[in-house]
Chains A and B, each alone.
Chain A
Amino acid sequence: MPQQMTGAEMVIQALIDQGVTDIFGYPGGAVLPMYDAIFQQETVRHILVRHEQGATHMAEGYARSTGKVGVVLVTSGPGATNAVTGLTDALMDSVPIVCLTGQVATPLIGSDAFQECDTVGITRSCTKHNYLVKSVADLPRVLHEAFYIAQSGRPGPVLIDIPKDVQFAMGTYYGPTEIEATRHKSYRPQVEGDTRLIEAAVDMMLRAERPVFYTGGGVINAGPEASQHLRELAELTGFPVTSTLMGLGAFPGSNPQWLGMLGMHGSYEANMAMHDCDLMINIGARFDDRITGRIDAFSPGSRKIHVDIDPSSINKNIRIDLPIIGDCGRVLKEMVRIWRSKTNQPRTEAIAPWMKQIDGWRAKNSFGFQNSSTVIKPQYAVQRLYQATKDRDVYVTTEVGQHQMWAAQHFPFEMPNRWMTSGGLGTMGYGLPAAIGVQVAHPDALVIDIAGEASVQMTMQEMSTAVQYELPVKIFILNNERMGMVRQWQELLHGGRYAHSYSESLPDFVKLAEAYGGVGIKCDDPAKLDDAIAEMINVKRPVLFDCLVEKHENCLPMIPSGKPHNEMILPDFKGDVGKVIDAKGRELV
């Protein structure tokens, strides 16, 4: 039934009708009517953040761990500009977000009014789509459309800018079932893959001798069924599987066909398999430069199949032999069906020499490291954390840097939606708020942010949010007193001149935790690490765990910039790392 209400009430009603139960926000003058509407209901819970960037990452963590849309509510001007980093992050990593911003009243737009900024202009290139709603009559349609756009096709952030007078205005509200435009009038991404192409893909797979599945975040975004179909297809074919940073968890880390993550800091076996394969089956990944390394030397002898819901990803960086546009889950399901219709045998025998070769690469133990009994090695810390938590309902987020890569290497996942990290944008400060968002969605789960001491200070104030809402997130800081990843690149590329990569004047994280009302734990002894981790897990409050680790550890293996996959630096590298990268490679990031 269409109802009369104010614009502000419509916003809250639309959230309820879209099944939203939690939103992340921060009030201000231009959103007061919406806050008033929030105050007068109990269906939607509002989490008050400490900085709008925090709200966006919380919404991302919430969305990635549930598959639902994350919702953000911030004020005009500085509220909106503070949200820009998180919106860009969500765009790069295809995370469905709806961000509601307040705007000055329509007659004031363009007058340089107090806290006015051109929000739709600023966010045009960092959202999938955005709207400025100038009339309350358009508001119900735009609200429902935003949810549709955020989660259909390749997901992404959608922003709705709502002037204050529109929030006050009375209008007619329609629910999502009462209005045709719940879907956008023309936006219809292709989700079903072309069966003939899928059949051709299966035929290629049936002839492959050195195949590899290269999977990405698209499999996670396609929902848990997609991961199920991937597992089925891997079992039916017997092919090995690797994944990008964003796709971890779609395939079980314990499966013998699993090669580990690929890319710049991926495993030797994964990267060598990519380089030497004769058939690459890319499901929902985008040939990012962290994966391909040097493009003209990327997997020179393979035919390539690429399944993606975004047609613009096809042939963007790498030439594809067989593109299939569609939702990864649906295409995988079709692949399973067609494979079954053609054979009931995996190609185990045909690919046996290939698997043997892979075992040879695996034997290099490329994630290996020299452990120590006197200082905690960061890799060891992640391994112990994994051992202590693997039988629990655990979710992991990260910040950005070496610790992020060590987490990806040493913390395997069995299920999708368990791993939240900033891949495309590489946003330091993502992990702590993302963990809070995950914990809001999964109150009883164990949620850990594997952090670096530099990154975590970018959004540290959200500890206060965690304490306020009794969200017992565990912030596990691999503290090397360095911006480790920057330090590593300076060692590799700039003659060891460590310009400003030393974290001088660090806070006492234990006292800091206590100051926020959380719990602080410190550990610098490998022998005491397990006990300290157990203590962290058992505390039912937010914890800052200051894990003091080796200060100069390099994150290896590594494909040096400008080099192909088969020229990785392995952990047993003995030469001078400062000499590996040539002048051309130095220009790359």
Chain B
Amino acid sequence: MNAHLQATGSVYSLAPETQTPERHTLSVLVDNEPGILARIVGLFAARGFNIDSLTVSETEHEKGLSRITVVTVATPKVLTQIKLQLERLVPVHKVHDLTAEGKALERELALVKVASTGEPRAEALRLADAYRAQIVDATTESFVFEITGKPSKIDSFIAIMVPLGLVEVVRTGLAAISRGPEGM
């Protein structure tokens, strides 16, 4: 989304951008109220920030809280702005930059449909086993694998399934949490 826009650099700055963009995972704790997702996504669109991946789900029902995980690519200066702009939204409680705060745990789930017969089918099964993917649907000429892991592991699993009859993929987007005893 709008990767070419320098969201917070004024047009009045005629100097070229010197910082390089980085990929960061933000965890955003919000009130689970109508329109909250539109507010977050609208902010990214209006200010020209990128969204690479977005995951939303209610996490604490009694308190009415949801956790939104956003993966974004931006320069350090823009990342600070993204965090501060998110925190300005009234229903946003907290924003944590998990990438900046240290190695966070990141997991994603994908469902991968592969259709083939004969040797490619056998090969797909062997590889799925090596990647600890589960078979969640099978016909004589297809499988649906369920795989969980770091995004890079899923990327590579998908890549090797391409020549073995990959039909389609769905991914959940990222769930991320910090390591150690502290909560958000």
Contact = CB atoms under 8 A, between A and B. Distances in A.
A124 B38 CA distance: 9
A581 to B, nearest CB: 13
A312 B13 contact: no
Given A186-B31, A295-B12, A128 B90 contact: yes
Given A311-B87, A312-B88, A316-B81, A124 B10 contact: no
A155 to B, nearest CB: 13
A292 B10 contact: yes
B1 to A, nearest CB: 16
B90 A124 contact: no
A218 to B, nearest CB: 15
A403 B13 CA distance: 28
A124 B39 contact: yes
Given A124-B42, A187-B90, A317-B8, A584 B84 contact: no
Contact of A124 (B35, B77, B84): B35
B93 interface: yes
B90 A149 contact: yes
B77 to A, nearest CB: 7
A293 B13 CA distance: 9
Nearest to B46: A125
A310 interface: yes
B85 interface: yes
B30 to A, nearest CB: 9
Q: Which of B12, B46, B89 has the most CB of A within 10 A?
A: B12
Nearest to B77: A315
A182 to B, nearest CB: 15
Chain B interface residue count: which class?
20 to 34
B80 interface: yes
Contact of A562 (B14, B88, B91): B14
B88 to A, nearest CB: 5
Interface string B82-99: 001101111101000000
B164 to A, nearest CB: 45
Interface in B30-88: 31, 34-35, 38-39, 42-43, 46, 77, 80-81, 84-85, 87-88
A129 B14 contact: no
Contacts of B89: 129
B117 to A, nearest CB: 48
A296 B88 CA distance: 27
B8 A295 contact: no
B163 to A, nearest CB: 45
B15 interface: yes
Contacts of A1: none
B179 to A, nearest CB: 26
Nearest to A585: B14
A463 interface: no
A289 B42 CA distance: 23
A185 B31 CA distance: 10
B130 interface: no
Given A121-B38, A132-B34, A296 B8 contact: no
Nearest to A154: B88
B8 A125 contact: no
B184 interface: no
B11 interface: yes
A145 to B, nearest CB: 9
B34 A295 contact: no
Given A124-B42, A293-B12, A311 B84 contact: yes
Nearest to B85: A312
Interface string A170-187: 000000000000001111
B11 A588 contact: yes
A296 B90 contact: no
Contacts of A588: 11-12
A129 B90 contact: yes
Interface string A14-54: 00000000000000000000000000000000000000000
Contacts, number: 65
A105 interface: no
B87 A296 contact: no
A286 to B, nearest CB: 12
Contacts of B42: 124-125
A294 interface: yes
A508 interface: no
B91 to A, nearest CB: 8
Contact of B87 (A120, A125, A312): A312
A561 B84 CA distance: 29
A296 B13 contact: yes
A310 B88 CA distance: 8
A147 B80 CA distance: 29
Interface string A534-574: 00000000000000000000000000011000000000000
B64 to A, nearest CB: 9
Contacts of B91: 129, 186
Q: Which of B38, B43, B90 has the most CB of A within 10 A?
A: B90
B81 to A, nearest CB: 6
B12 A289 contact: yes
B8 A186 contact: no
B12 A312 contact: no
B12 A184 contact: no
Given A186-B31, A296-B13, A310-B88, A316 B38 contact: no
A37 B8 CA distance: 46
A109 to B, nearest CB: 11
Contacts of B31: 185-186
Interface of A: 120-121, 124-125, 128-129, 132, 149, 154, 184-187, 289, 292-296, 310-312, 314-317, 561-562, 584, 587-588
18 contacts: A121-B38, A124-B35, A124-B38, A124-B39, A125-B43, A125-B46, A129-B91, A132-B35, A185-B31, A186-B93, A289-B12, A292-B10, A292-B12, A295-B14, A295-B15, A296-B13, A312-B88, A562-B14
Given A129-B89, A296-B13, 19 more contacts: A125-B43, A125-B46, A129-B91, A132-B35, A154-B88, A186-B31, A292-B12, A295-B12, A310-B88, A311-B87, A311-B88, A312-B84, A312-B85, A316-B8, A317-B8, A317-B10, A561-B12, A562-B14, A588-B12
